[in-house]
Amino acid sequence: MITPDGKTIAGFYTLSAHVVSLADLPDNVARKLPRYPSIPATLLGRLAVSVEFHGRGIGELLLMDAFHRALANTREVGSAVLVVDAKDERAREFYLRHDFIPLPSQLNRLFYPIKTIEKLLGPLQGRKRD
């Protein structure tokens, strides 16, 4: 959650454990994953920015924070992809601009491979600190 004053909510998101059917993923992604019927995933729930704070880059900040946390959580609870359900076309375009990939069977459900997040953030990001 982002709050400028500790009271006003500028934006928020949630992460939770989830699964994705291997059959729902594009072939080029699925063939790199173990052959289980369901693949562990992290669900990025309703990333939202208050109308008052639109256009200030808060959505991108929240998304990058979600990437960091999803990667860190993957160290504890395995996850192959970060999944999101775009609530409308505007949200879908936001995720597409940030290189999310639509699931062929559900165009408003998009995903981002955890391995790609690790490449983006670097291998040391998200590791547990001693």
CB 57 within 8 A of CB 75: no
Specify the residue for token string 């983006």: 120
The ranges assigned to domains in the chain are 11-121
- Out of 13, 36, 95, 112, the active site residue is 95
Check if 95 is active-site. Answer: yes
Query: Cα-Cα-Cα-Cα dihedral of 62, 120, 109, 65, to 10°?
Result: -20
> pLDDT tens for residues 83-112?
999 999 999 999 999 999 999 888 899 999
Q: Model's pTM, two decimal places? A: 0.84
Specify the residue for token string 């490449």: 119
CATH of 11-121, one of 3.10.440.10, 3.40.630.30, 3.40.50.300, 3.90.870.10: 3.40.630.30
> pLDDT tens for residues 46-57?
899 999 999 899
